[in-house]
Structure 1
């Protein structure tokens, strides 16, 4: 038996591996941070044997409630990911077992989205005449901060989309991929009509460093990027610094920030009702966006979500609050589950990259319906 995580987004420590195939593991902290919950590792073992795993520090992870009703993701080929039976017991031990059908298998907190796939997404998108690739700057580790500009920049309405500020929330980049590929589909009448009225600025991965390092929420410097929007710095949060500067140069008429939530088994949005400039116009846009998205994609719902901020009490270090206040625009955080969608469960895969991708495609529907009202 061999366990390894020395690859893109890998994260695990082997505490003990016994002869009876019992394995005790621990999740490593994010870089320069106390956050931890993301894991991704590879097991090489004997076909037909059952391996029993315990994550010994599950009770010390950042979102302990996230383990309730959670199922570990697994894949033999890195393409199709399925869920394996997982228990979080009264003693707060996270355990799971699997009988090997092939000699080598990946396990992860959620279906990964690799840096290589990110690069392929960028390079394939730039082949379209509708798209141009820009590099806004470099991360703490020196990786490029990639921006895709889709459509004609002379269009009056500017729509911004960011994904994966928290690197372990890989469903966010799967969602962004779906949105990007629909926009670039020249046979899609809705997408092409929308691009006649608006230009899109899309950052598919805000946190490349954390993604590669196997972090849950932090960049290489230990910063939670979604708490850096009020006062970012080149030293600690260059990703936000450069994206924010670009936003100021283009303007923003609508903003979607794509995320995943560890605890809630639903797809929902968080709005910016707590910002000082919140008014009836923005409230109406938020309500219409949610109503339209709900009508075209039953994975989305409005019953469950975060508690609403009191008037004037929004945290302006958070992206959607800062953008909403700075640009007086529709500004939403879209959340997807790490678990399954409780309203439409899939026992084999749970919430997945494919469902995130399809959700991304349907995000164009409410934007198309609302585009003329954005300004």
Structure 2
């Protein structure tokens, strides 16, 4: 929901952040002091486009940027493994935030209308280590930018570059402090439109929504480097793609987002929007993608979500859910979702949140049912 997260996500600026970035060349390690509600809500300058009505999606054009909207993101996550069974998770996310509804003429070569932020993580399951990194830069002097056909996004040397103009076949590259990924992704299934034909409402006010689609099954191969060793890996990735201008409302604190790739070929996305009092917002929603490509939209009442355990971060002190039971009775699904590592908190990023690789099991038999990613936002400072 990134609502990758969503979802999303991901994802995540306040108005003052882009203005501050415009006044200085680069900010590598900004303080983790902004909330996701600040970033995706509030009053914005008139003139930005709003997500108010369903639209026709056109691919591959819609894989590229939408500059008339204030915020958008490309959210890649995946569960990968070596031939010997060593497991890794990864996240590479690019966020674009516009300063004004239309570009402003500036004489400086540093002048730009867009700020980019990116998050890169590796979950090393066997090594029991979670590595996370953040970069922020303006879209000037070649430092960052995004284009459409084929898709080409970069922030310095982190990139997502398409090698086919007709589909989302993409190569991801990122490296920092000896940790690196170089992955090739190829669509292995249909695009999943979330919400009302891709219009994903996050609140009751008109325009508090995003255009949101996912590609839940991206066949993935390539390499991951950790601790001076490079591993050949393969597995599945998930793309969450959203753009809009405002999403969250004043009463909302954040979301719990689930992107699950089931072993039987189905995919389940669900986001639980949380009110500040801890209750579930009725506009929470999801999508079930069937094996034959048909999609079923899910309302909050269709799915039962229970938290079975909690985990407290030793770094931030924040308390996150750490075990879930998801029931979708109409589809015969009764699933247990468990993190591969408890500590998958992005703690030193501008917006602190938890996002990590999970395993999916059948509650009754305990057998594997799949894998996926979970994102938890708005828990920063939650101690109880």
TM-score, structure 2 normalization = 0.25
Q: Larger strand proportion, structure 1 or 2?
A: 2
Q: Larger helix proportion, structure 1 or 2?
A: 1
TM-score, structure 1 normalization = 0.25
Considering only CA atoms, is the larger Rg found in Structure 1 or Structure 2? 1
